[in-house]
Amino acid sequence: MTVQARQIVLARRPQGAPRIDDFALGTAALAAPAAGEVLVRNLWLSLDPYVRLALSEQPGLHGTVPLGDPLPGMAVGEVIASASAELPAGSFVLSRVHGWRDHYLAPAAELQPLSTAAGPIERYLGLYGLTGITAWGGIYGVLKPQPGETLFVNAAAGAVGMVAVQLAKRAGARVIASAGSDAKCSWVTGTLGADHAINYRREDLATCLAELAPEGLAAAFDNVGGEQLEVMIDAMAPRGRIALCGAIALYDGENYRAGPCNLFAAVEKHVSLTGFNAGFYFPQAPQIIADLAAAEAEGALVHEETIIEGLEAMPQSFIDLLSGASRGKLLIRV
């Protein structure tokens, strides 16, 4: 059996924000699985900002996609042909690399088997996957908010941010959030339950934080980096804690690893900055997923997914994700 896979490939290395011509639709002929391999038909593909880093030539854990190669990403799919006793045809699997395509061949040992018992399978790309585990790790693993503390979350209407806001509220914190439009801010307060939301494109973040938290922030969850991280460091209370989750404001630039210019303010105020990587929490995934499911069952957790149809829509959806046009977790149904 030969399958003609369709895949989104890197046509041109983006300069600044990615443009539609940076991507192209390619094909690859896939043979029948060899011993230990499976052939998978992807059902759902995840859109994640870290993929932008793999399109650049900057050094980092993400690697660099060669021109003409398919993009890497998370996906859930169904095994349609198998030469592995562990993953027979009909199994559902998660891949952390074989996104951005409709079919792929891979060794069964590299894939994570999934059960459909916990609800819709695409949840393993969102709430029960990278973004939910990231929010859980940043809030409960790093920041550990105490009741009554004031905690700030930026990019709060995004996939990680929306879960982080709600977990912080569940822990009893007072939550100040920021997002890039008035509509997103209304949703972050009205639906997610944040106490205040700042539209950082229209309002001055530093001024708003000074007004809303005159004693300073006890904790902050940073998805954005760059100038927002600098504002955050200045806005922290003595002994404040910052969880460094991402730096999306820098991903289109020439050095996404650039540091804030006011780091010494952290020394003066005894502020901790803790970087964290969701991968370090994957061994705890079953307990984390159970806790997220419990939060949902309590009515303390809303998870919004924006579903886009078809592999061809993926490049534009990725551009929309990075530019802030979307809300919640963005998924492609293949």
Overall residue count recorded for the chain in this entry: 334
Site string for ligand NDP, 173-202 (x = CB under 6 A): ------xxx--x------------------
Q: C-alpha 88: how far from its chain's center?
A: 30
Q: Contact between 160 and ligand NDP (CB under 6 A)? A: yes
Span from 13-21, 90-98, 126-134, 304-312 in contact with ligand NDP (CB under 6 A): 126-134
The interface with ligand NDP within residues 234-273 (CB under 6 A) comprises: 245-249
Contacts of 24-31 spanning 24+ positions with Cβ under 8 A: 25/311, 25/312, 26/68, 26/70, 28/4, 28/70, 28/101, 29/2, 29/3, 29/4, 29/5, 30/2, 30/3, 30/4, 30/5, 30/103, 30/104, 30/105, 31/2, 31/105
- The smaller minimum CB distance to ligand NDP, of residues 224 and 292, is found at 224
> Percent helix, strand and coil across the chain, each rounded to 5?
35, 30, 40
Residue 317 in contact with ligand NDP, rule: CB under 6 A: no
Q: State yes or no: residue 224 binds ligand NDP (CB under 6 A).
A: yes
**∠ CA 231-232-234 to the nearest 5 degrees?**
70
State the nearest-atom distance from the C-beta of 82 to ligand NDP, in Å.
30
Minimum Å gap between C-beta 300 and ligand NDP is: 19
Question: What would the DSSP string read from start to end of 125-154?
Answer: GTTTSHHHHHHHIIIIIII-PPTT-EEEES
- The count of C-alpha atoms lying within 13 angstroms of the C-alpha of 153, restricted to the half-sphere facing its C-beta, is 33
CB of 5 or CB of 177, closer to ligand NDP? 177
Q: Which of 126, 158, 260, 315 binds ligand NDP (CB under 6 A)?
A: 158
Residue among 87 and 245 whose Cβ is closer to ligand NDP: 245
Q: How far is the CB of 71 from ligand NDP (least distance, A)?
A: 15
Q: List the x/- string, 202-221, binding to ligand NDP by CB under 6 A.
A: --------------------
Residue 50, interface with ligand NDP (CB under 6 A)? yes
Nearer to ligand NDP, 50 or 140 (CB): 50
Whether residue 241 contacts residue 142, with contact meaning beta carbons closer than 8 Å, is answered with yes
CA distance 210 to 1: 64
Contact 69, 10 (CB under 8 A): yes
Q: Does 159 bind ligand NDP (CB under 6 A)?
A: yes
Q: Does 71 participate in binding ligand NDP (rule CB under 6 A)? A: no
For ligand NDP, which is the closer residue by CB, 48 or 102? Answer: 48
Give me the DSSP letters along 250-313.
GTTSS-TTPPPTTTHHHHHHT-EEEE--GGGGGGGHHHHHHHHHHHHHTT-----EEEEESGGG
CB of 15 to ligand NDP, least distance (A): 16
Number of residues that bind ligand NDP (CB under 6 A): 30
Q: Judged by CB under 6 A, which of 30, 108, 288, 321 binds ligand NDP?
A: 321
Nearest approach in angstroms of CB 279 to ligand NDP is 7
Name the site residues for ligand NDP (rule: CB under 6 A): 48-50, 130-131, 134, 155, 157-161, 179-181, 184, 223-224, 245-249, 276-278, 321-322, 324, 326
